Amino acid sequence: MVALTSNTNDILMRLAGSRLPSMEIAFFRFFFATLTLLPVMLYFRRDGSFYTKRPSLHILRSALLFGAIACWTTGLTMVPLTVVSTFAQTTQLFVLPMAAVFLKEKVGWQRSLATLAGFGGILLIVVGHSGNDGFIDSLLSMNNGTLFLISAAMMFALSDILNKRFVVEESTLSMMFYIALGTTLFGAYPAYTVWQTPEMSDLGILLVLGAGGNLILFFLLKAFAATDVSALAPFRYLEMILAGIFGFLIFGEIPCQWTLAGAAIIVPSTFAIAYYETHHKRKEIVPETPKPVEIDLCTQEERP
């Protein structure tokens, strides 16, 4: 469900992006996400759904998320859906070095090697979509959708780091609601500066987009609660297959050799990281088996 909903959202953003600025799409996405969550928040208000201990954290997360979605919306209007879905898997590659710097986590050689390989795959895709301007000119002019997707992935990763470091004793509903509300407020002025009055069909797309964003997070939380991250990784890569199918059927897109080569590196790299982290955590939480104690029948004393 996550893969299907995520692909649907990317298609809707692509369609909306053909008529509306990315800043406005990012604003409306979270405006409608807030509206669709509000009835649920009111229903559970007696359970403290509106309560939060860290309002400043929600403000920072909202700023990061608005920047990430704005970059993501811009990038996906410039590159094929298969490229977009490939970069959707790269957040974990950015989380590892950030965790080492900000959280002082130890990153083993296995994860370091997989991360470096993943960055190599990203570089292949960026070079392949530099166009006739060349790689350096494309970087300087930002005339490359992959650069916006990389920026978005980095901001998503930093948001994950903040969640891991600071979000404690926060309910799922409050985290979902305040990030949607905060991102709406952050996006109001940028959307105003590029405002184009949306048509009713555009508002319908944006409403579904906002509700879909809430569903993605809800499905992810349910999936993470049910099984390990590494077990879910193959299903997340289904998103790339669906993106290729939808991209061809709806937009007539065919993945180029650069995209296929980069994806062939990024997919196993991110899977290896997820697999290693899950099994490493298992080893940490498995209690040490107590050594058997023998009793000397003569002295009645215990001995190891």
> How confident is the prediction along the chain (304 residues), in pLDDT tens digits per residue?
666 788 788 888 888 888 899 889 989 999 999 999 999 888 888 777 788 877 888 888 889 989 998 888 888 888 888 888 888 878 777 877 887 777 677 767 777 888 888 888 887 787 776 665 555 555 545 556 788 888 898 898 888 777 666 555 667 788 788 888 999 999 999 999 999 999 999 999 999 998 888 887 777 666 655 555 545 555 666 777 778 888 888 888 888 887 888 888 887 887 777 777 666 655 555 454 454 445 444 444 444 4
Residue 153 to residue 161: CA distance in whole angstroms: 12
Hey, what's the torsion of the CAs at 186, 187, 192, 198, to 10 degrees?
-150
- DSSP string for residues in the chain: -HHHHHHHHHHHHHHHHTTS-HHHHHHHHHHHHHHHHHHHHHHTGGGTTT--S-HHHHHHHHHHHHHHHHHHHHHHTTS-HHHHHHHHT-HHHHHHHHHHHHS-----HHHHHHHHHHHHHHHHHHHHTSGGG-HHHHHHHT--HHHHHHHHHHHHHHHHHHHHHH--S--HHHHHHHHHHHHHHHHHHHHHHT--PPPHHHHHHHHHHHHHHHHHHHHHHHHHHHS-HHHHHHHHHHHHHHHHHHHHHHH-----HHHHHHHHHHHHHHHHHHHHHHHHHHHHHSPPPPPP-EE-TTT--EE-
Residue 187 to residue 175: CA distance in whole angstroms: 18
Residue-level pLDDT at 295 = 45
Residue 148 to residue 78: CA distance in whole angstroms: 9
Write down the residue that tokens 């470096």 correspond to.
116
Residue 165 to residue 158: CA distance in whole angstroms: 10
Global pTM value: 0.74
Nearest 5 degrees, angle CA 122-CA 11-CA 237? 45
Residue 16 to residue 10: CA distance in whole angstroms: 10
Residue-level pLDDT at 237 = 64
Residue 9 to residue 239: CA distance in whole angstroms: 12
Give yes or no for a contact between 230 and 274, defined as CB atoms under 8 angstroms apart: yes
Burial of 100 (0-12, 13-18, 19+ CB in 10 A): middle
Amino acid identity, position 12 = L
Give yes or no for a contact between 206 and 30, defined as CB atoms under 8 angstroms apart: no
The residues, ordered by sequence, that sit 6+ positions from 133 with a Cβ below 8 Å of its Cβ are 141, 143
Nearest 5 degrees, angle CA 35-CA 243-CA 143? 85
Cβ neighbours of 129 (radius 10 Å): 23
